[in-house]
Structure 1
Amino acid sequence: MKNLVRLALILVMMSYQSFVAQEKTRLIVEFERIKNTSGTLHVGVFEKENFLKKPTLAKSIEVKGSTHTVEFENLDFGVYAISVFQDLNANQSMDMQSNGIPLEPWTMSGHPNPFAAPFWEDVKFTFDQKKKRIKLKI
């Protein structure tokens, strides 16, 4: 009888772990009132160690209207920043003037200074729930 109870308990624990492991997290990035309805939005999710170098996750979507949504699934809980630019000339990079001022529309999470290079502390956010929605304007 003890073995039967142990076996049942083990099966319950294993099925619970499977259920918990299958739950997905979702980070939803919404764009409203996009002024220029052409080009491609390049959306990157960054961690502090790779900030503005190589995104942890990235997606690109063609702009076809004034509102768009990008979803990232299975993101681990942690601290991240989102950086977005709108590639208007399809060259896959953010065009800038010689002094570093962007020539194409861009936005970030948090509160970056639009007249200076972004700082991690200004743009980071905590992803600590299964579903988080962030609204950005570009």
Structure 2
Amino acid sequence: MKNLVRLALMLVMFSHQSLVAQEKTTLIVEFENIQNTSGTLYIGVFEKEDFLKRPISGKRIDVKNTTHSIQFKDLDYGVYAVSVFQDLNGNGTLDRNSNGMPSEPWAMSGAANPFAPPYWEDVKFTFDEKNKIIKLKI
């Protein structure tokens, strides 16, 4: 009888963990004080393994105002980083000057050093709530 009770408890625990792991969230990225109201914002949500190589989700929006908001729905709980750049000339890439510094506006979650390449540890955030808002200034 004890074994049946233990088995039942284990099944309940595993099914609860499975349901919690499947719960989805919404990440809301808000952009404030956009200086140039033209071009396109390219926004990527990254995991550590493919940081700045391949986003797990990406979107783009045309810039029409000094503020914008975009939602990434159905993300799993986890650790992520958000990267955005404003493509002013329509070539679909973040342009750089001769010394490799970005020549178009960009931003990242966390505390990226604007004068150095971004490091995962500086820009990551824990996504552990149903709806999370990240505010970025371009």
Shorter-chain TM-score range: 0.7 to 0.9
Aligned residue for 1:124? 124
Aligned residue for 2:52? 52
With normalisation by structure 2, the TM-score equals 0.83
CA distance in 2: counterparts of 1:23 and 1:63, whole angstroms: 32
CA distance in 1: counterparts of 2:38 and 2:59, whole angstroms: 16
| Secondary structure of 2:114 counterpart | coil
Number of equivalences: 121
Q: Unaligned stretches of 5+ in structure 1?
A: 1-18
CA distance in 1: counterparts of 2:24 and 2:66, whole angstroms: 28
Q: Which amino acid aligns with 1:41?
A: L
Q: Unaligned stretches of 5+ in structure 2?
A: 1-18
With normalisation by structure 1, the TM-score equals 0.83
Q: Which amino acid aligns with 1:43?
A: I
CA distance in 2: counterparts of 1:20 and 1:124, whole angstroms: 22
How much is the aligned-residue C-alpha RMSD, in angstroms? 1.8
Percent of aligned positions that are identical:
68
Asked if the contact 2:24–2:77 (Cα under 8 Å) also holds between the matched residues in 1, the reply is no
Q: Which amino acid aligns with 2:120?
A: W
Aligned residue for 1:38? 38
CA distance in 2: counterparts of 1:89 and 1:121, whole angstroms: 31
Q: Please state how far the C-alpha of 1:98 moved relative to its aligned partner.
A: 2.4
In the TM superposition, what whole-angstrom CA distance separates every residue of 1:67-89 from its partner, at most 9, and x where no partner exists?
10010000000000000000000
